[in-house]
Amino acid sequence: MLDGSNPHDILVDEVLRVSGISRGSLYHHFGDFDGLIHTTLMTRFAANVEADGAAMRHVAESATSKEDYWNRIRQLSAQTQVPSRASIRAERARLIGMASLGGEFAAALASVQDRLTEVMAEAIAQAQTKGWVNPALSPRALSLFLQAYSLGRAIDDIAGTHVPNQEWVELIDTVLASFEG
């Protein structure tokens, strides 16, 4: 249901009908309807986080040379910027906005986000030890930067006039080249 609509447009009665669970079960397991929505959004976010982190770790562990490493990082980066991932970028931006309000959801999202940043930073540090990434750069700061440019694409996803994907990827590739060791 989240794939097709804004979480705020989903009605509890619709969820109960589609899922076949009782109202009592929903409230027993999630506290309230917002709890269900937050849990579901967090699960989706965590799945994307795990996939992104695993991809970065795989590249750092399996690349055979500096050239191979950067070619694969560029490919991975380009894959995250394609128009078909607009909904993933929009959902991430929405979650960041929801987290800005604080509370339990913000704490849970912070934990998942920290895990992604740390996994990516560890992969970057591994590449630094191989001489493939500039050792003067903070792995954590670089990890945040790599995540941040997807939010730039999220802005373009909603713009009236879009930057062509190839131009965006070329810009990212140019910036990534400055990080090489």
- The confidence score (pLDDT) of residue 58 equals 96
Q: Is 70 exceeded by the pLDDT of residue 4? A: no
Cα 67 from chain centre? 25
36-177: in CATH 1.10.357: yes
31-40, 103-112, 168-177 — which one is most confidently predicted on average? 168-177
Question: Does residue 28 have a pLDDT over 80?
Answer: yes
Mean pLDDT for the stretch of residues 35-54:
83
Burial class (CB in 10 A: 0-12, 13-18, 19+), 47: exposed
Domains of the chain, residue spans: 36-177
Percentage of the chain modeled with pLDDT above 70: 98
CA distance 20 to 145: 43
More confident residue, 70 or 45: 70
**Positive or negative: CA dihedral 166, 158, 53, 55:** negative
Average pLDDT over every residue of 26-52: 83
